[in-house]
């Protein structure tokens, strides 16, 4: 028995519906719960990893793209054919009940912390429970889709850690750290992503913290899922092919053309300088041949070295640009280049490399505002579910009307011990944005709230999205998280 192309088309985009966007073994779980089971309550947490806090992001995108569309009869037929050919059980009666009793809308309730909020690892981020006692298996069935939260949340957490490192450098060396931070880390990661969809959601997670990106799918994701007409900015920039196409002896002509095509007062452009001889390109081509043209244009030219050790090349370029264009000492005692020139390092950047680069720049007497960084694979691709040890586990089960704890406690790995009961998230503050991570945010049972507000908000119930927030609000919420200094302490482990 095989699935036909028409049946595959019934699944929708790339052959998937909520029936098939799951793991094979989920299909048989409906028959594995104890007799009398009516509800299953599960939760999602980041159990640990490099970052002590998770900057929660991406649930709204997942709900809109995967859980809002009602199940159809065609999808049920197609899923039955698929799982039958695949060799696993298929709960046709259960899905037919979802269609007949609920019009295909999923009878689930999903509660979650506000997106953009920092939550210490080891605490509940999302809680899911079925609302129809006939389908207790549905809670776990959607785990595969919901667990994809690990990706945008991990990218947002990584990007936030980078922001903390950069802001600490700006706070030490710039007269205007708050005004400088938004464009200090640029996303170059689209080409290294596994798909345009992952580039979109991962790139958007970075934009929770910064405003610079070259990942166009992130802009579309912001508009599609978060009501944001334009989430990020970029500038005209050269790549090696647009330099080398002019030939080695005409590099100056390539740079001059760039300035003429895209330069102008108040405009910013980027020139890659390592196609041939980086020193010659910076000191002679830009610093002598084009110096007067750059100054007369009113442009800011961002010089991009793309090879070599950044701890060597970036300070060397800063000194060369200062000799050609001038610099001054700011109120913090650090040197700032003429606004006509700046530097961006986009090769080989990860958190450790960013920290090393900025420490080198500051130790050489330069303000961090002279230098931006770009991340590609290090931002969107060098993460996985284990980076923050994401998991979804059942914590309570209702049998014959009585809630009972459900948990795992493996003797071989106590770190995988799961939580018990119906859960809530509380803090010592009075509202979500009134606490810092050190104030005792913790997961408790719902019965232990004792008048404290539950930070888990119901965002989805019975196929309806109850909270639909704009990206601008999520950005503001992220900005109200603990200070850069405290985040930096957590990232460094101090």
Position 16 scores a pLDDT of 66
Tell me what the mean pLDDT of segment 379-391 comes to: 96
Cβ-based burial of 89 (10 A; exposed 0-12, middle 13-18, buried ≥19):
middle
36 falls in which pLDDT band (50, 70, 90)?
very high
Sorted by where each begins, the domain ranges of the chain are 173-380
491 falls in which pLDDT band (50, 70, 90)?
very low
Helices (H), 113-269: 138-141, 143-146, 150-173, 177-180, 196-207, 216-226, 240-244, 251-262
Position 427 scores a pLDDT of 80
pLDDT single digits (tens) 460-475: 999 999 999 999 999 9
Helix, strand and coil content of the chain, in percent to the nearest 5, comes to: 45, 20, 35
pLDDT single digits (tens) 237-264: 999 999 999 999 999 999 999 999 999 9
Cβ-based burial of 47 (10 A; exposed 0-12, middle 13-18, buried ≥19):
middle
Q: Provide DSSP, 40-53.
A: EEEEEEE--SS-SE
C-alpha to C-alpha distance for 411 and 406, rounded to whole angstroms: 16
Position 444 scores a pLDDT of 93
CATH architecture of 173-380: Alpha-Beta Barrel (3.20)
Position 465 scores a pLDDT of 98
Tell me what the mean pLDDT of segment 22-34 comes to: 96
Tell me what the mean pLDDT of segment 175-199 comes to: 96
Tell me what the mean pLDDT of segment 287-307 comes to: 97
**Could you count the other beta carbons within 10 Å of the beta carbon of residue 352?**
10
- The gap from C-alpha 9 to its chain's centroid, in whole angstroms, comes to 30
Tell me what the mean pLDDT of segment 68-80 comes to: 95
Rounded to the nearest 5°, which phi and psi values hold at 336?
A: -125, 130
429 falls in which pLDDT band (50, 70, 90)?
low
Predicted confidence (pLDDT) at residue 414 exceeds the cutoff of 90: no
Predicted confidence (pLDDT) at residue 433 exceeds the cutoff of 50: no
Tell me what the mean pLDDT of segment 283-292 comes to: 98
Mean pLDDT of the chain: 91
Contact predicate 128/42, CB 8 Å: yes
Position 408 scores a pLDDT of 82
Evaluate if pTM is beyond 0.75: yes
Position 351 scores a pLDDT of 96
Predicted confidence (pLDDT) at residue 24 exceeds the cutoff of 90: yes
Predicted confidence (pLDDT) at residue 22 exceeds the cutoff of 70: yes
Position 100 scores a pLDDT of 98
Position 492 scores a pLDDT of 32
Predicted confidence (pLDDT) at residue 10 exceeds the cutoff of 50: no
Position 261 scores a pLDDT of 98
Q: What is the DSSP letter of 457?
A: E
4 falls in which pLDDT band (50, 70, 90)?
low
Predicted confidence (pLDDT) at residue 76 exceeds the cutoff of 80: yes
481 falls in which pLDDT band (50, 70, 90)?
confident
Tell me what the mean pLDDT of segment 39-61 comes to: 96
Contact predicate 389/31, CB 8 Å: no
Q: Provide DSSP, 300-337.
A: EEEEE--SS-HHHHHHHHHHHHHHHH-EEE-TTS-EEE
Predicted confidence (pLDDT) at residue 417 exceeds the cutoff of 90: no
Position 439 scores a pLDDT of 47
Q: What is the DSSP letter of 104?
A: T
Q: Which two tokens stand for residue 302?
A: 């961002």
């Amino acid at each position: 028995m095989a699935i036909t192309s028409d049946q595959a088309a019934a699944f929708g985009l790339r052959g998937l519906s909520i029936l098939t966007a799951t793991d094979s073994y989920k299909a048989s779980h409906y028959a594995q719960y104890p007799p009398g089971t009516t509800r299953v309550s599960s939760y999602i947490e980041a159990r640990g990893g490099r970052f002590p806090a998770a900057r929660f992001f991406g649930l709204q995108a997942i709900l809109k793209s995967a859980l809002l569309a009602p199940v159809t009869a065609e999808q049920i037929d197609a899923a039955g054919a698929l799982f039958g050919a695949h060799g696993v059980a298929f709960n046709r009666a259960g899905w037919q009940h979802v269609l007949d009793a609920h019009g295909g809308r999923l009878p689930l309730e999903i509660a979650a912390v506000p997106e953009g909020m920092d939550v210490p690892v080891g605490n509940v981020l999302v809680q899911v429970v079925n609302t129809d006692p006939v389908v207790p298996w549905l809670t776990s069935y959607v785990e595969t889709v919901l667990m994809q939260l690990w990706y945008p949340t991990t990218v947002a957490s990584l990007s936030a850690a980078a922001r903390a490192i950069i802001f600490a450098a700006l706070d030490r060396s710039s007269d205007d750290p708050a005004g400088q931070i938004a464009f200090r880390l640029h996303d170059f990661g689209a080409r290294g992503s596994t798909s345009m969809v992952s580039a979109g959601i991962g790139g958007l997670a970075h934009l929770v913290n910064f405003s610079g990106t070259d990942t166009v799918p992130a802009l579309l994701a912001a508009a599609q899922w978060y009501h944001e007409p334009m989430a990020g900015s970029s500038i005209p920039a050269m790549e090696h092919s647009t330099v080398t196409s002019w030939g080695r002896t005409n590099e100056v002509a390539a740079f001059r053309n760039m300035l003429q095509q895209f330069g102008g007062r108040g405009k910013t452009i980027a020139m890659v300088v390592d196609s041939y001889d980086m020193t010659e390109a910076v000191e002679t081509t830009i610093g002598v041949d084009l110096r007067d043209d750059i100054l007369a244009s009113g442009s800011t030219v961002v010089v991009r070295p793309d090879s070599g050790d950044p701890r060597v090349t970036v300070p060397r370029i800063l000194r060369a640009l200062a000799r050609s264009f001038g610099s001054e000492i700011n109120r913090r005692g650090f040197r700032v280049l003429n606004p006509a020139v700046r530097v961006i390092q986009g090769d080989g950047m990860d958190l450790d490399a960013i920290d090393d680069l900025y420490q080198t720049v500051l130790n050489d007497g330069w303000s961090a505002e002279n230098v931006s960084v770009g991340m590609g694979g290090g931002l969107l691709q060098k993460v996985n579910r284990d980076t923050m040890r994401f998991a979804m586990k059942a914590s309570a089960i209702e049998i014959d009307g009585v809630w009972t704890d459900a948990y795992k406690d493996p003797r071989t790995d106590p770190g995988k011990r799961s939580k018990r009961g119906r859960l809530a998230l509380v803090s010592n503050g009075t509202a979500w944005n009134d606490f810092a991570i050190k104030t005792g945010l913790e997961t408790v049972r719902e019965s232990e709230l004792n008048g404290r507000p539950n930070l888990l908000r119901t965002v989805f119930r019975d196929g309806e999205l109850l909270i639909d927030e704009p990206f601008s609000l999520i950005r503001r919420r992220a900005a109200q998280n603990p200070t850069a200094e405290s985040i930096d302490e957590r990232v460094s482990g101090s």
